[in-house]
Amino acid sequence: MANLIDGQRVAQEARIKIKNDIAHLQQERGITPGLAIIVLRSPFGRMHIAQLKERNCKQLGIKSQIISLPETETEEELAFLIERLNSAKDVHGINIHPLPPHLSHTRISQLVDPVKDVEGLHFLNMGRFLLGSTFLMPFVGRGIINLIESTGVNLEGKRVVIVGRSQLVGKPVSFLLLQKNATVTICHSETKNLTAFTRQADILVVAAGHPNTIKGNMVKEGAIVIDVGVNNVGTHLVGDVDYKEVEKVADWIPPVPGGVGPVTIVMLLDNVVRAAEQQ
């Protein structure tokens, strides 16, 4: 049976450092970091995660606000809001929740002042990141690396397979893993014979957005499996990995929920503090 990777514990350890950094920022410069979370009320918006972020902010001493907008919001209306937040002195970071299909997250992210781009998705920050900068790195990727390293594994020379190549997850995490000297393969929906790749992985990162994408027979014995997926199935949240099958084969696996989610939230808030330090 696999060991459980406890995302809540990893998140809690990170919170202690962030709390210290915030106290320092307040004492030295009188700054309270501020985060604005933009949520469009659509099936993609994930208001409950925004509320979870708000609770985390409160615990840490970050001033947060959720800006809840109708699903029909236009790009022009969003641009106007972001312009206002860009010049608000008490907002140091802007987080945009997944948008409905008529809006492009990539395009909207370019409207955020790069110094407030706590998602790390502005092309300036993404470009700097690819050149090795550590300022405002993509937060989901950072969370995944933290979770993997919490197992005590040394990533150097490890064979890592990532299932998914999105801007938010697959691509940034692949680059962070390369920086750690892992050997990285990225798979996607057009990959032929996915199992042939996943079975070779010492570490398998799955961010496909579909339940049961990875079954037990697709995993190498003793692997670390990081399930990034969050899918609503009935009233339950499940990952992309068939947990019951994979826990029998893998050495380490996080639960869903309670794995990647709590750590990525904390990494987002860490970016808010880094952003506030620069403003």
Applying CB under 6 A, the residues found at the interface with ligand NAP are 140, 163-166, 168-170, 187-191, 194, 207-210, 213, 228-231, 260-261, 264
Amino acid sitting at position 125: N
Q: How far is the CB of 263 from ligand NAP (least distance, A)?
A: 8
Least CB distance to ligand NAP at residue 235 (A): 17
Output the smallest distance, CB 33 to ligand NAP, in A. 20
Kindly tell me which of 80 and 123 has the beta carbon lying closer to ligand NAP: 123
- Give 34 or 254: the residue with its C-beta nearer to ligand NAP: 254
5 token code pair: 């990777």
> Which residue, 36 or 163, is less far from ligand NAP as judged by CB?
163
Q: Which is nearer to ligand NAP, 148 or 208 (CB)?
A: 208
Task: Report the Cα 127 to chain-centroid distance in Å.
Answer: 18
> How far, in Å, CA of 48 to CA of 7, rounded?
18
Nearer to ligand NAP, 99 or 111 (CB): 99
Asked if 236 contacts 213 with a C-beta cutoff of 8 angstroms, the reply is no
241's tokens: 């990995």
> What is the token pair recorded at 181?
């000297």
Minimum CB separation of residue 24 from ligand NAP in Å reads: 27
Residue positions counted in the chain: 279
φ, ψ of residue 207 in degrees (nearest 5): -140, 70
Instruction: Work out whether the CA dihedral 119, 260, 246, 213 comes out positive or negative.
Output: negative
What is d(CA 106, CA 248) in angstroms, rounded to the nearest whole number?
Answer: 38
Query: Judged by CB, which is closer to ligand NAP: 151, or 185?
Result: 185
- With contact defined as beta carbons under 8 Å apart, do 277 and 25 qualify? yes
Q: How far is the CB of 266 from ligand NAP (least distance, A)?
A: 10
Cα separations in angstroms, 159 against 154, 180, 200, 264: 11, 12, 7, 23
Complex with ligand NAP: residue 91 or 140, whichever CB lies closer: 140
Token pair recorded at residue 66: 């959720």
Q: How far does the chain reach from its first CA to its final CA, in angstroms?
A: 48
Q: What tokens appear for 41 in the block?
A: 């009320």
Please return the burial class of 55, using the count of CB atoms within 10 Å of its CB with bins 0-12, 13-18 and 19+. exposed
207 or 250: CB nearest ligand NAP: 207
Chain residue whose CB lies nearest ligand NAP = 166
Please report how close the Cβ of residue 31 comes to ligand NAP at its closest, in angstroms.
27
Least gap, CB of 96 to ligand NAP (angstroms): 13
Report the nearest approach of ligand NAP to the CB of residue 206 (Å). Answer: 8
Task: Determine if the peptide bond prior to 257 is cis (ω within 30°).
Answer: yes
